[in-house]
């Protein structure tokens, strides 16, 4: 109908002033006004009708036609089986294939639709199933047969006209060495940017090692880069949607110029971190808040009230032009969030933790970094919510830029932050390193990393970051399988073995506060609450007999004092009692000796972190300082005659102790020196554990740090990277 009206000289279906039919069954290409709408749209409409026949609702609904069309264009995939479990798998798969966003991803003929509806083995993409799935019944077989008739009726009109999908372009990767004197000088997350069409890379360069950097333009069809005039000291380059102009920050002002030549114009003063919207405006931060100005120059418009110095930075304008993806540094820049800002209301919505977000409207994906790991997830920009599970695409990235044509340019470098990929290694008393399982890596997921070797040395409990957040996993040592222990929306930390054999104790926020829970390590049974107190519980330790639990509370971030040690007897005490609590300094990492008579801990009472030992539970009857020049993270040997701790230079220290009568300690000595690639603890994580034989330790190492990757390129260009993203995310 739309094509017929157009051929008669009328407006297109989606143009103002004409509405032919209803929006519920329009294909995405119709909804966007694509002039190439063809018979694939009929496959989409047929699938939408079938979906409604089976579920009672069209695939995408809304209060207005505009809302429906928006969901058709940007909404996530739908599944009839996710609504009604009795829908046969092949019928659901046929519907999902017929409703694909891209015409080339749908069936190429109505005959194929008929075949899929009659083939019980037909599958497509990722299946989503509602509880209580039933097999195909007579009703649905009859319904499928009816749809076959409908599909065959359409086939005469569309079979010969449907467009075959284009052959997939190959994914190609190229190391990007730059000519001498034209090297990319990466100094931060805004060091370079691809043009939207992928033809040009604009990057920062430090000519002849001088103090001032300039911007360079490298076209991929040329071997040499070109210096961009009047860009000395410039940063944060961003190229206009048509690829003809460049905006950048220079001296606290946002400026723009034509790449082909012409004067430099100042758009905003002050201005920081510009992004070039598809609506003809350049957006940036200013001292007054978020502002924008016409890209050709003109009045600066105030949009919101977050300013230049509060850890927020714009990254991408969403397709509707009304919402902005931005990054926010929170908790004294210890954590980074991705948020969406409504430019009209000023309302901010949290999306996920991460940095450098980019929304790709083609596949409908949000792509971002979590300290060196590129993540991708289906994203609904209208509803401002993720529509699936984030997938790790690649790690070891410092920064990246993706063009609309699918090119990816990235620079390598471990983020070194709290969400980096890592592996665990054995380190013996001489400092020799051996991977526990060379094929096992995981995401750290925060500075408070924690792992614990089982009393018999056969298993390892470890906290890992996965798509659902931080959870506890059990690893069979050394190269055995892993199993997940905790599930759900809660965040879980600090796994320790005990108090009973085969149990894991951990902290969790599942009741809204960080409390202590326990669960069987084999995964059976439900978690059991051990301690519920008003303060957040950061770390803990059991006495050998399981009668005592010593706890360290969380204090204010960046402020000394408020981290205190409490003692609790499950089944005896109703609330934990203060054991070592002083508001002027911190007491941390309480560890009870194997004989249950002594408490080792870390404190700042001498204006630096040192290790002390006191009698337990009568901590007021004595005190011995163990470390001399600084110490952290005390742990007792399993024999009880040694105490390990992290030295002032992050070396592994040990001191001989006598605990059978009174207490005495020898002189601390170094076991092995620190390797800069090891991940040590501070106040947040028990980043080593002692094997029951007391001859080796479990430490963490950043992935890539122990690999021979010196010859790997620092900068890489990838073509057709969207195919990688689609393959990994199912989009």
- 540-596 tens-digit pLDDT: 999 999 999 999 988 654 455 678 999 999 999 999 999 998 878 889 899 999 999
Q: Are 498 and 540 in contact (CB under 8 A)?
A: no
- Cα separation of 566 and 72, whole Å? 56
Q: How many CB atoms lie within 10 A of CB 278?
A: 14
Tell me the backbone φ, ψ of residue 379, rounded to 5 degrees.
-140, 135
Q: How many CB atoms lie within 10 A of CB 6?
A: 15
pLDDT bin (cut points 50, 70, 90) of residue 499 is: very high
Tell me the backbone φ, ψ of residue 349, rounded to 5 degrees.
-125, 125
Q: Map residue 614 onto helix, strand or coil.
A: strand
Nearest 10 degrees: Cα torsion 330, 462, 616, 529: 80
Average pLDDT for 139-158: 43
What average pLDDT does the structure give for the chain?
A: 82
Decide the pairing of beta strands 433-435 and 421-428: antiparallel
H or E stretch covering 650:
none
Tell me the backbone φ, ψ of residue 382, rounded to 5 degrees.
-70, -45
- Cα separation of 669 and 652, whole Å? 9
C-alpha separations of 66 from 1, 102, 332, 365 in Å:
20, 20, 41, 21
Could you tell me which residues come within 8 angstroms of residue 598 by beta carbon, excluding any fewer than 6 positions away? 592, 613, 614, 615, 616, 659, 663
What is the model's pLDDT at position 302? 87
What is the model's pLDDT at position 459? 96
- Least confident span in 136-150, 234-248, 396-410, 610-624: 136-150
What is the model's pLDDT at position 155? 37
Q: Map residue 119 onto helix, strand or coil.
A: coil
Widest Cα–Cα separation across the chain: 103
Q: How many CB atoms lie within 10 A of CB 372?
A: 24
What is the model's pLDDT at position 414? 43
Tokens coding 698:
């479990």
pLDDT bin (cut points 50, 70, 90) of residue 684 is: very low
Average pLDDT for 712-718: 78
Average pLDDT for 155-169: 37
Beta strands in 491-557 (DSSP E): 492-497, 503-508, 515-520, 528-531, 537-542, 549-553
| DSSP state string for 24-69 | GG--HHHHTT-TT--THHHHHHHHHHHHHHHHSS-SS--SSHHHHH
Sheet with strand 348-353: strands edge to edge: 312-317, 323-330, 335-342, 348-353
What is the model's pLDDT at position 344? 83
What is the model's pLDDT at position 593? 97
- Where is pLDDT greater, at 675 or 549? 549
- What is the SS3 assignment for 544-580? CCCCCEEEEECCCCCCCCCCCEEEECCCCCCCCEEEE
- Report the predicted TM-score, pTM, of the whole model to 2 decimal places: 0.48
Q: Are 438 and 445 in contact (CB under 8 A)?
A: no
Q: pLDDT tens across 204-240, in order?
A: 887 765 556 889 999 998 889 999 988 888 888 999 9
The alpha carbon of residue 147 and the mean position of all alpha carbons in its chain are separated, in whole angstroms, by: 42
- Least confident span in 123-132, 279-288, 380-389, 426-435: 123-132
- Cα separation of 489 and 34, whole Å? 41
What is the model's pLDDT at position 303? 81
Q: pLDDT tens across 127-142, in order?
A: 665 544 444 444 444 4
Q: Are 721 and 666 in contact (CB under 8 A)?
A: no
Among left, alpha and beta (phi > 0; psi -120 to 50; other), residue 457 is left
- Cα separation of 86 and 88, whole Å? 6
Range from 50-64, 115-129, 182-196, 319-333 that averages highest in pLDDT: 50-64
Of 353, 402, 374, which is closest to residue 192 (Cα–Cα)?
402
Q: Map residue 726 onto helix, strand or coil.
A: helix
**Percent of the chain as helix, strand, coil, to the nearest 5:** 15, 35, 50
Q: Are 422 and 444 in contact (CB under 8 A)?
A: yes
- Only one residue has tokens 């071997």, namely 223
Could you tell me which residues come within 8 angstroms of residue 16 by beta carbon, excluding any fewer than 6 positions away? none
pLDDT bin (cut points 50, 70, 90) of residue 477 is: very high
What is the model's pLDDT at position 416? 42
- Only one residue has tokens 């070592």, namely 580
Q: Are 632 and 623 in contact (CB under 8 A)?
A: no
- Cα separation of 610 and 598, whole Å? 16
What is the model's pLDDT at position 151? 43
Q: pLDDT tens across 689-711, in order?
A: 999 999 999 998 876 544 444 45
Count the helices and strands in the chain (H runs, E runs): 9, 52
Q: pLDDT tens across 370-427, in order?
A: 867 899 999 999 899 999 888 888 877 878 999 988 899 998 754 444 445 788 999 9
The alpha carbon of residue 25 and the mean position of all alpha carbons in its chain are separated, in whole angstroms, by: 35
pLDDT bin (cut points 50, 70, 90) of residue 650 is: confident
Paired residues of 587 in beta bridges? 603
Q: Among residues of the chain, what percentage have pLDDT more than 70?
A: 81
Average pLDDT for 522-528: 93
- Least confident span in 243-252, 332-341, 535-544, 634-643: 332-341
Nearest 10 degrees: Cα torsion 666, 671, 677, 679: -40
| DSSP state string for 261-297 | S---EEEESS-EEEEE-TTSEEEEEETTEEEEEETT-
Q: Among residues of the chain, what percentage have pLDDT more than 90?
A: 41
Asked whether residue 304 carries a pLDDT value surpassing 70, the answer given is yes
Could you tell me which residues come within 8 angstroms of residue 293 by beta carbon, excluding any fewer than 6 positions away? 254, 267, 268, 281, 282, 299, 300, 301
Scanning 64-184, the segments in alpha helix (DSSP H) are: 65-74, 80-83, 89-98, 110-118, 138-158
- Only one residue has tokens 């993806």, namely 325
C-alpha separations of 553 from 163, 186, 537, 550, 578 in Å:
64, 41, 5, 10, 10
């Amino acid at each position: 109908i739309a094509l017929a009206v157009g051929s008669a000289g009328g407006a297109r279906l989606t143009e103002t002033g004409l509405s032919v039919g209803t929006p519920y069954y329009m294909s995405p290409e119709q909804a966007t006004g694509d002039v190439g709408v063809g018979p694939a749209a009929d496959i989409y409409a047929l699938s939408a009708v079938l979906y409604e026949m089976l579920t009672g609702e069209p695939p995408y609904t809304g209060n207005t036609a505009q809302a429906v069309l928006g969901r058709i264009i940007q909404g996530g995939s739908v599944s009839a089986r996710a609504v009604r479990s009795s829908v046969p798998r092949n019928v659901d798969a046929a519907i999902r294939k017929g409703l694909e966003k891209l015409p080339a991803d749908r069936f190429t003929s109505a005959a194929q639709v008929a075949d899929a509806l009659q083939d019980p083995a037909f599958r497509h993409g990722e299946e989503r199933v509602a509880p209580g799935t039933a097999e195909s019944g007579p009703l649905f077989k009859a319904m499928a047969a009816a749809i076959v008739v409908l599909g065959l009726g359409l086939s005469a009109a569309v079979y010969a006209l449907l467009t075959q999908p284009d052959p997939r372009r190959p994914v190609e990767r190229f190391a990007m060495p730059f000519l001498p004197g034209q090297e990319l000088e990466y100094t931060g997350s805004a060091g370079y940017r691809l043009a939207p069409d992928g033809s040009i890379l604009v990057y920062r360069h430090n000519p002849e090692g001088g103090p001032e950097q300039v911007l360079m333009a490298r076209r991929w069809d040329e071997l040499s880069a070109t210096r961009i005039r009047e860009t000395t000291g410039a940063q944060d380059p961003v190229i206009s949607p048509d690829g003809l102009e460049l905006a950048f920050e220079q001296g606290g002002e946002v400026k723009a110029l034509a790449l082909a030549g012409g004067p430099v114009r100042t758009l905003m003063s002050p201005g920081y971190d510009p992004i070039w919207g598809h609506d003809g405006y350049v957006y940036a931060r200013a001292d007054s808040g978020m502002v924008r100005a016409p890209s050709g120059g003109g009045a600066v418009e105030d949009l919101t009230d977050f300013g230049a110095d509060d850890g927020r930075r714009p990254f991408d304008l969403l397709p509707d032009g009304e919402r902005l993806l931005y990054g926010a540094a929170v908790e004294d820049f210890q954590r980074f969030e991705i948020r969406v800002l409504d430019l009209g209301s000023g309302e901010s919505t949290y999306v996920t933790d991460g940095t450098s977000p980019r929304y790709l409207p083609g596949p409908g994906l949000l792509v971002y970094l979590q300290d060196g790991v590129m993540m991708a997830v289906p994203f609904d920009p209208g509803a401002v919510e993720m529509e699936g599970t984030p997938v790790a695409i690649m790690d070891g990235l410092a920064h990246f830029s993706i063009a609309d044509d699918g090119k990816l340019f990235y620079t390598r470098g471990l983020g070194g932050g709290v969400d980096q990929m890592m592996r665990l290694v054995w380190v013996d008393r001489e400092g020799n390193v051996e991977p526990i399982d060379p094929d096992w890596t995981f995401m750290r997921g925060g500075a408070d990393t924690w792992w614990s070797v089982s009393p018999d040395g056969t298993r390892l409990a470890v906290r890992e970051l996965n798509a659902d957040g931080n959870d506890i996993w059990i690893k069979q040592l050394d190269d055995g399988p892993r199993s997940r222990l905790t599930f759900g929306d809660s965040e879980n930390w600090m796994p320790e073995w005990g108090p009973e054999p085969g149990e894991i104790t951990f902290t969790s926020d599942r009741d809204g506060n960080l409390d202590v829970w326990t669960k069987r390590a084999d995964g059976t049974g439900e978690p059991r609450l051990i301690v519920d107190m008003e303060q957040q519980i950061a770390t803990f330790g059991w006495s050998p007999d399981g009668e005592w639990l010593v706890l360290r509370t969380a204090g204010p971030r960046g402020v000394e004092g408020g981290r205190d040690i409490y003692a609790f007897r499950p089944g005896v005490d109703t609330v934990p009692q203060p054991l070592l609590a002083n508001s002027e300094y911190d007491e941390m990492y309480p560890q009870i000796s194997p004989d249950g008579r002594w408490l080792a801990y870390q404190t700042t009472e001498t204006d630096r972190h040192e290790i002390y030992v006191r009698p337990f539970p009568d901590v007021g009857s004595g005190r011995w300082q163990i470390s001399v020049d600084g110490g952290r993270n005390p742990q007792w040997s399993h024999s009880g005659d040694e105490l390990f701790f992290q030295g002032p230079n992050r070396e592994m220290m040990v001191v001989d102790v006598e605990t059978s009568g009174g207490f005495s300690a020898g002189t601390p000595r170094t076991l092995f020196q620190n390797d800069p690639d090891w991940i040590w603890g501070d106040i947040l994580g028990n980043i080593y554990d002692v094997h029951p034989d007391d001859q080796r330790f479990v430490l963490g190492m950043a992935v890539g740090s122990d690999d021979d990757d010196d010859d790997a390129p620092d900068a890489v260009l990838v073509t057709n990277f969207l195919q990688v993203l689609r393959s990994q995310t199912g989009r």
